[in-house]
């Protein structure tokens, strides 16, 4: 990199300056930027206004010192105190007197995300039409453009006198603007313009919301509004998935940062977002720059590493409050409950006792159903509490996996469109393969057999399905977890009746598991996998994985209980789906047994009640879709069993 003097000697920049208007226009600064970039000065090219002004003042040799201190074009107009350690008294006066050369005079009528710098933001020509809200960083006002009557939301933040706080604000402001410029989603606010003046930084966004989600959750809602709230679950999740796909971490997800505009819901306030588009797995450490106490994750309070999975905690808190409102509880009721229970902190993470007590209250108000659509809301409540509000960050799912689970629930429990968790507006983004899921893929006679339909396509081992016996095995059919004391029962492997369609090795494995004392998993290389970690990851993955990613057999094995009732087993082949775990993509088997009450996976009747998904008799309109979806389950399982490194071995 050449020095400034060498640069001026080597490049005839003065000739370029002579061709520019005086004072230069926005197009002129674009020309300067392109020129600097073409000669290899990328950081200078990002700050053409600073470059021009310092060159005008014959102070261009100081540009790198400005940039080293983080002082860029975003800081215009500069204040006297900001220049204290860079220029002497005379230099500061000249800089402040002449910086008008690089400032804007007005804004165009048509705005599309540009940034402007004014001595006074009144030059934007916006009339205040009322306060919308107040936050920790500033105020949000409704404003009207005097020229065309357009309505905008104006976020107004004062520039602090303290140098450290001022720099933090400017860094957050720049990050928010860059993030908002990249975001184009029906459930995220649009950036209209940004502005700095001597006293403040300003963001203009659109549309102007009617209220935020916090106020909505505390309002008396009509039935139509409750139906809209159902769809908000998928819309909010979809918007967060979109941000994560762009490499943007929101980092402050809460109802106050979610806006309601008519029947639409919008994410806003990217002031603390982290743009990690250059790094697929971005993690930050140290103290968080902000703290919304109620919604902050455990790792925020512990000053531990944070990444996109930290957003999943915030999402869990928001969905928990939405589900509570759908079950009749206003947000103010929840906050009062947290203040009166546990350690009386209004925080999901800091007051886990109150969080658990509220979850139990939600379940107490729901139908006790092991099968069918009555357990739809209860399942999602349990999923949010046990999976999204997992205290170990690395055991949480990605937001895309959360979205996939919502699609699963809508598929397994087909209800009217206004009762779905994922509304039509988000279905395609939620899963680009959604057409393949419901489209015609053919149907074979073999696929109509009940064993190809999972009895428990959505399985909740922590709560709703905790009454069931289940066993988890590793890829060598060694047990790593059993539930309900299966191996304590006296059984003979002869009780397992072969039917010619179940591979004999799996039959033998089941009999072996039932009679075997469970031990830690030992691998051939002499290493020992810590059983608690593998079983925890497998158990979480069983709840997180999408139905389409699990290979399933359902078979009425003749395993007899004391009352001689037959037991049906579902054999599920899954894989660890937690991306940051060392066992990621490792396969496991889950054997899930019914409760011995004679559950029939094909139902008792004919016609519209002859097909089960999660035990629910499907309507004829949904029946064809389900049959198509599971048409190749058996063939796929057999293929994967053969390909998975001797997954099934003869005992």
State the Cα–Cα distance between residues 171 and 272, nearest whole angstrom.
Answer: 9
C-beta of residue 527 within 8 angstroms of C-beta of residue 374? no
Among 438, 456, 491, the domain-final residue is: 438
C-beta of residue 236 within 8 angstroms of C-beta of residue 217? no
For residue 467, the SS3 value is: coil
State the Cα–Cα distance between residues 365 and 367, nearest whole angstrom.
Answer: 7
Helix (H) or strand (E) holding 232: helix 223-245
**Comparing C-alpha atoms, which of 363, 362, 346, 364 is closest to residue 354?**
346
- Rg, Å, the chain Cα set: 30
- Residues of the chain predicted below pLDDT 70: 1-18, 136, 270-291, 368-373, 428-454, 475-477, 484-532, 551-568, 595-651
Task: Please indicate, yes or no, whether residues 517 and 582 belong to a single structural domain of this protein.
Answer: yes
**Comparing C-alpha atoms, which of 511, 459, 465 is closest to residue 490?**
511
Q: Say if 292 falls within a structural domain.
A: yes
Residue 436 in tokens? 């393949």
- Beta-bridge partner residues of 141: 131, 154
| CA angle at 334 for the pair 331 and 339, rounded to the nearest 5° | 130
Distances (CA, A) of 81 to 84, 88, 96, 412, 651: 5, 12, 11, 63, 79
Helix (H) or strand (E) holding 629: helix 620-629
Among 206, 237, 260, the domain-final residue is: 206
Q: What is the pLDDT of residue 15?
A: 65
C-beta of residue 586 within 8 angstroms of C-beta of residue 475? yes
Burial class (CB in 10 A: 0-12, 13-18, 19+), 390: buried
Q: Say if 385 falls within a structural domain.
A: yes
Residue 311's CATH number: 1.10.510.10
Contacts of 350 (CB under 8 A, 6+ apart): 293, 301, 343
Distances (CA, A) of 127 to 113, 151, 311: 19, 10, 36
Place of tokens 């004679």: 598
State the Cα–Cα distance between residues 586 and 472, nearest whole angstrom.
Answer: 13
Q: What is the pLDDT of residue 29?
A: 93
State the Cα–Cα distance between residues 190 and 112, nearest whole angstrom.
Answer: 9
- Beta-bridge partner residues of 190: 206
State the Cα–Cα distance between residues 541 and 401, nearest whole angstrom.
Answer: 10
State the Cα–Cα distance between residues 266 and 259, nearest whole angstrom.
Answer: 5
Q: What is the pLDDT of residue 554?
A: 66
- Could you tell me the residue range of the domain that residue 181 belongs to? 114-206
Contacts of 582 (CB under 8 A, 6+ apart): none
| Edge-to-edge strands, sheet with 479-483 | 479-483, 469-473, 587-593, 569-575, 551-555
For residue 557, the SS3 value is: coil
Task: Please indicate, yes or no, whether residues 82 and 139 belong to a single structural domain of this protein.
Answer: no
pLDDT tens per residue, range 170-182: 998 998 899 899 9
Q: Say if 648 falls within a structural domain.
A: no
Task: Please indicate, yes or no, whether residues 433 and 450 belong to a single structural domain of this protein.
Answer: no
Task: Please indicate, yes or no, whether residues 63 and 90 belong to a single structural domain of this protein.
Answer: yes
Task: Please indicate, yes or no, whether residues 151 and 232 belong to a single structural domain of this protein.
Answer: no
Task: Please indicate, yes or no, whether residues 426 and 452 belong to a single structural domain of this protein.
Answer: no
Place of tokens 């999204």: 388
Residue 622 in tokens? 């949904």
Q: Say if 619 falls within a structural domain.
A: yes
Q: Say if 383 falls within a structural domain.
A: yes
Residue 473 in tokens? 């095995």
Task: Please indicate, yes or no, whether residues 618 and 529 belong to a single structural domain of this protein.
Answer: yes
Distances (CA, A) of 170 to 193, 200, 206: 16, 10, 22
Question: 190-196 and 114-117 as β-strands: parallel, antiparallel, unpaired?
Answer: parallel
Q: What is the pLDDT of residue 341?
A: 97
DSSP 164-203: HHHHHHHHHHHHHHHHHHH---TTBPEEEEEEE-SSEEEE
State the Cα–Cα distance between residues 636 and 410, nearest whole angstrom.
Answer: 24
Q: With the CA atoms of 493, 495, 499 and 500 taken in that order, what torsion angle do they form, in degrees rounded to the nearest 10?
A: 20
C-beta of residue 53 within 8 angstroms of C-beta of residue 95? yes
Distances (CA, A) of 382 to 25, 375, 392: 58, 10, 17
pTM, two decimals, is 0.81
Contacts of 447 (CB under 8 A, 6+ apart): 627, 630, 631, 632, 633, 634
Contacts of 121 (CB under 8 A, 6+ apart): 195, 197, 200, 202
Burial class (CB in 10 A: 0-12, 13-18, 19+), 112: exposed
Q: What is the pLDDT of residue 596?
A: 60
Q: What is the pLDDT of residue 503?
A: 36
Among 391, 419, 438, the domain-final residue is: 438
State the Cα–Cα distance between residues 419 and 229, nearest whole angstrom.
Answer: 9
State the Cα–Cα distance between residues 62 and 49, nearest whole angstrom.
Answer: 14
Task: Please indicate, yes or no, whether residues 255 and 347 belong to a single structural domain of this protein.
Answer: yes
State the Cα–Cα distance between residues 602 and 613, nearest whole angstrom.
Answer: 9
Burial class (CB in 10 A: 0-12, 13-18, 19+), 211: middle
Q: Say if 212 falls within a structural domain.
A: no
- Beta-bridge partner residues of 332: none
Task: Please indicate, yes or no, whether residues 519 and 605 belong to a single structural domain of this protein.
Answer: yes
State the Cα–Cα distance between residues 20 and 91, nearest whole angstrom.
Answer: 25
Task: Please indicate, yes or no, whether residues 285 and 244 belong to a single structural domain of this protein.
Answer: yes
Residue 159's CATH number: 3.30.200.20
Residue 177 in tokens? 């603007």
C-beta of residue 168 within 8 angstroms of C-beta of residue 289? yes
Task: Please indicate, yes or no, whether residues 515 and 544 belong to a single structural domain of this protein.
Answer: yes
CB atoms within 10 A of CB 1: 8
Count of residues in the chain: 651
Q: Say if 321 falls within a structural domain.
A: yes
Residue 102 in tokens? 């690089």
Q: Say if 213 falls within a structural domain.
A: no
Task: Please indicate, yes or no, whether residues 522 and 634 belong to a single structural domain of this protein.
Answer: yes
Task: Say what angle helices 399-412 and 308-326 make with each other, to 10 degrees.
Answer: 30
Number of domains in the chain: 4
Q: What is the pLDDT of residue 2?
A: 52
Helix (H) or strand (E) holding 64: helix 63-68
């Amino acid at each position: 990199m050449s020095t400034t003097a060498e640069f001026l000697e080597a490049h005839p920049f003065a000739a370029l300056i002579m061709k520019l208007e005086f004072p230069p226009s926005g197009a002129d600064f674009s020309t300067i930027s392109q020129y600097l970039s073409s000669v290899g000065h990328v950081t200078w090219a990002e700050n053409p206004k600073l470059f021009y002004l310092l060159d005008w003042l014959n102070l261009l040799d100081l540009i790198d010192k400005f940039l080293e201190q983080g002082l860029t074009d975003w800081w215009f107009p500069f204040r006297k105190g900001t220049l204290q350690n860079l220029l002497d008294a005379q230099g500061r006066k000249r800089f402040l007197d002449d910086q008008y050369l690089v400032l804007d005079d007005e804004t165009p009528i048509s705005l599309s995300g540009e940034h402007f710098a004014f001595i006074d933001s009144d030059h934007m020509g916006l009339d205040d039409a009322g306060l919308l809200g107040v936050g920790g960083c500033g105020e949000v006002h409704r404003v009207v453009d005097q020229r065309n009557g357009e309505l905008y939301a104006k976020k107004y933040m004062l520039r602090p006198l303290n140098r450290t706080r001022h720099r933090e604000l400017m860094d957050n402001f720049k990050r928010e603007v860059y993030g908002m410029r990249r975001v184009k989603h029906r459930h995220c606010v649009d950036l209209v313009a940004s502005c700095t003046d001597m006293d403040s930084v300003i963001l203009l966004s659109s549309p102007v919301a009617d209220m935020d989600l916090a106020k909505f959750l505390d309002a008396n809602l009509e039935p139509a509004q409750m139906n809209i709230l159902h769809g908000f679950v998928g819309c909010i999740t979809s918007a967060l998935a979109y941000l994560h796909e762009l490499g943007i971490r929101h980092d402050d997800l809460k109802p106050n940062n979610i806006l309601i505009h008519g029947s639409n819901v919008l994410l806003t306030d990217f002031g603390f977002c982290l743009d990690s588009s250059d790094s697929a797995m971005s993690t930050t450490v140290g103290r968080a720059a902000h703290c919304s106490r109620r919604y902050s994750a455990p790792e925020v309070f512990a000053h531990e590493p944070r990444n996109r999975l930290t957003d999943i905690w915030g999402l869990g808190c928001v969905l928990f409050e939405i589900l509570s409102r759908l079950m009749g509880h206003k947000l103010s009721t929840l906050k009062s409950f947290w203040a009166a229970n546990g350690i009386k902190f209004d925080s999901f993470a800091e007051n886990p006792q109150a969080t658990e007590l509220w979850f139990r209250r939600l379940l107490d108000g729901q139908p006790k159903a092991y099968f069918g659509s009555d357990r739809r809301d209860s399942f999602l409540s349990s999923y949010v509490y046990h999976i999204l509000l997992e205290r170990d960050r690395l055991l949480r799912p990605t937001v895309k996996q959360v979205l996939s689970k919502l699609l699963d629930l809508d598929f397994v429990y087909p209800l009217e469109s206004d009762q779905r968790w994922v509304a039509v507006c988000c279905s395609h983004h939620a899963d680009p393969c959604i057409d393949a899921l419901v489209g015609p893929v053919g149907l074979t006679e073999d696929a109509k057999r009940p064993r190809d339909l999972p009895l428990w396509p959505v399985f909740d081992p922590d709560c709703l399905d905790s009454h069931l016996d289940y066993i988890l095995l590793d890829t060598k059919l060694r047990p790593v977890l059993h539930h309900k004391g299966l191996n304590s029962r006296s059984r003979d492997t002869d009780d397992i009746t072969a039917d010619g369609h179940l591979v004999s090795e799996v039959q033998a494995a089941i009999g072996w598991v039932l009679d075997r004392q469970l031990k830690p998993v030992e691998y051939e290389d002499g290493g020992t996998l810590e059983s608690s970690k593998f079983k925890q990851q497998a158990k979480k993955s069983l709840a997180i994985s999408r139905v389409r990613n699990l290979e399933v057999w359902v078979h009425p094995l003749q395993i007899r209980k004391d009352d001689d009732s037959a037991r049906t087993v579902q054999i599920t082949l899954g894989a660890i789906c937690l991306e940051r775990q060392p066992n990621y993509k490792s396969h496991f088997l889950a054997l899930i047994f019914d409760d011995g009450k004679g559950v029939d996976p094909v139902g008792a009747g004919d016609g519209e009640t002859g097909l089960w998904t999660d035990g629910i008799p499907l309507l004829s309109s949904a029946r064809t879709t389900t049959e198509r979806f599971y048409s190749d389950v058996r063939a796929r399982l057999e293929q994967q069993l053969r390909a998975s490194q001797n997954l099934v071995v003869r005992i």
